[in-house]
Amino acid sequence: MAGYLSFWPEGPQFEWQDKSGSRVDEKTRLPFFVWVPSPKVTDTSNIPTIAIQTNKVRLVDAFRIMDASVVSARFKAIIEEFEPNVHQFFPVELRRKDGTPYEDSYFIFHPTRMAPCVLLSKSKISEIVRVKVGPRTGLPNYHVREDEYVISRPAFGERKVFGSLFLGGGGGDALFVSDAVMARMKAKKLTNLITYPVEERDEPWVFEKEAPELVEFLKDKPEIAAEYYEKYLTVL
C-alpha cells in the first residue's frame, strides 16, 4: 500500500537571502513549486542557496521555506536509495538568527516523477471548487480527503516517489511514496512528516471516467486544454 506524504506547517522558519524562493517573483522566479513534480531543472540561477532562521525552533527533516521544500540529508538518502539519480536536490546553507551556519546538510527537494493515477471515482472527494474569476472561470478543482485516496497501480507503475493530477487540491505540499519508502522513513524516524495510507487498485486511470467535469470544461477551451495536458496530464 502506497503512502501520502506531507509535512506539518509548524517548524523552523527561515527567509531566503540571495533569491526570492517565490514561484511568482518576476526577477528570480523559482522554477518549481514546493515538491510538486515537474521535469528536471537545467537552469539553476534562480534557485536560492542561503537562508537565515527567524525563530529558534530546532531543525527537522522536512519543512517549507517560501515556495521550496527543504529536506535533510537523511531524507535525501532514503529517496536516493530507492530512486537514485532520479530526483533533484539542490544544496542550501541554513544559518541561525545570528548568522552562524548550521553544520547539518540540507537541500531543496525537487521530485521529477509524475503520473495521473488518482481514481477520483473511488476516492473520497470532500468538495469540487470551481475557479470564480479570470480566463479559467469554471475550472473544477477536486479536493480529496488526505486519508481517502485511491490510486491506480497500473498508472504509476514502478515509481517509488511521485505526484499526480488531483493531488492535495493543488496545495503542493503532498506526495505519493511507495510502501517501502514510507516504511523506511518511519523506521528512521524522520521528523515533521505526515503520512497517510493510500489504497491501490489494479484498474486503469481513464481521464473521462475520473474527471468528467474537467473534461467537459476543457472541450471548448483549446488554449487552456493544451496547457493543462502539458503540465498536469503528462507522465514523467
Q: Beta-carbon neighbour count of residue 153 at 10 Å?
A: 15
Amino acid in position 183: A
151-168 residue pLDDT tens: 999 999 999 999 887 655
**What grid cell was written down for 200?**
491501490
* Contacts with 142 (C-beta within 8 Å, 6 or more apart), sequence order: 120, 125, 128, 166, 169, 211, 214
Dihedral Cα 77, 79, 82, 88, nearest 10 deg: -110
Q: Quick check: 169 pLDDT over 70?
A: no
Q: What is the pLDDT of residues 82-131, one digit of tens each?
A: 999 999 999 999 999 999 999 999 999 999 999 999 999 999 888 888 88
Residue 115's closest CA among 38, 60, 184, 52?
Answer: 38
The burial class, CB within 10 Å (0-12 / 13-18 / 19+), for 142 is buried
Res 145: pLDDT: 82
Asked which of 19-23, 74-78, 151-155 is least confident by mean pLDDT, the reply is 19-23
Count of CB atoms situated within 10 Å of the CB of 66: 18
Q: In the 3-class helix/strand/coil scheme, how is 63-93 assigned residue by residue?
A: EEECCEEEEEHHHHHHHHHHCCCCCEEEEEE
User: Can you say whether the dihedral through the CA atoms of 153, 159, 162, 165 is positive or negative?
Assistant: negative
Question: What is the pLDDT averaged over residues 51-58?
Answer: 95
Say yes or no to pLDDT of 180 above 70. yes
Q: Give the Å distances, CA to CA, from 154 to 37, 184, 230.
A: 19, 23, 21
Q: Indicate whether 73 pLDDT > 70.
A: yes
The pLDDT mean for the chain works out to: 90
